[in-house]
Structure 1
Amino acid sequence: MEIVQIVGVGLIATILAVLIKDQKPQFSFLIALFTGIAIFLFLIGKISLVIQVLERLAVQSNINMVYLETILKIIGIAYIAEFGAQMVKDAGQAAIASKIELAGKILIIVMAVPIISVIIETIIHLLP
């Protein structure tokens, strides 16, 4: 049960961060940051398995790989922006965190434009 390990690491890091926060707040933030990175690195293998399955399905379905790559990049942007915003919020900088979230949303829109264009063109060709 990998989730038990992840939750265990998270709980231990939380306890350490809370205990240290009063004396050394910068170390408390670093504990949270490194714990988040460690959990992310732990999940990289799982993420790569999902990507491999999606690539195999795309090849079997004769879907242009550019669309799958774009969708995966969009998902990556969303997760990275969320992770960064949460870390910055933990450091007490909510204003900067909201800017990170805004940047992530804008980048997602920019990346989605080609896919939206293809969908609109397909709909137009289907209409009489």
Structure 2
Amino acid sequence: MIEITKIAVSGILCAVLAMQFKNRKPEYSFYIGCVCAILIFGYTLRFLTSMLDKYRIVQEIWSDEGGYLATLMKVIGITYICEFASGICKDAGYGSVAGQIEILGKLSVIFAGLPILFAVMEQIRNFV
């Protein structure tokens, strides 16, 4: 929890610093924002490795024949990557590109979740 607080405060400080440069040197503001985003992304990847270790423990305990945990992890990865890329594009002033990335992310999540939907529909059909 303390690590997350440190990252959040660092993000706020970077945003305030970037705002100081926004009027005089907008390119510096953009660079500060990108560096901050990349640093937070790197921390998230480090955090993700520890989460994956816990994921493997859960996977050993709970037999996952349908691959539902793997699908959940894919969906989390898709949403994080698309949100990250979209945020960078918005900061750069390319809102339309950011919107397209968000749409791609939503469609990818729907596509990744289709096997789970089919499994639920099959269970309902077998129940009736």
What percentage of aligned pairs have identical amino acids? 31
1:118 positional shift: 1.3
Q: 1:94 to 1:12 in 2, by over 3 A?
A: same
**Superposition pairs for residues 61-80 of structure 1, below 5 Å?**
61-64=62-65, 66-80=67-81
Q: Give the TM-score normalised by structure 1.
A: 0.86
The count of aligned residue pairs is 127
CA distance in 2, matches of 1:100, 1:51: 26
The residue that corresponds to 2:124 in the other structure is: 123
CA distance in 2, matches of 1:53, 1:97: 32
Q: Which runs of 5+ in 2 are unaligned?
A: none
Q: 1:123 to 1:52 in 2, by over 3 A?
A: farther
Asked if residue 46 in structure 1 is aligned to residue 47 in structure 2, the reply is yes
Q: Give the TM-score normalised by structure 2.
A: 0.86
The residue that corresponds to 1:23 in the other structure is: 24
Q: Which runs of 5+ in 1 are unaligned?
A: none
1:65 positional shift: 6.8
Question: RMSD across aligned C-alpha pairs, in angstroms?
Answer: 1.8
CA distance in 2, matches of 1:66, 1:118: 11
1:95 positional shift: 1.6
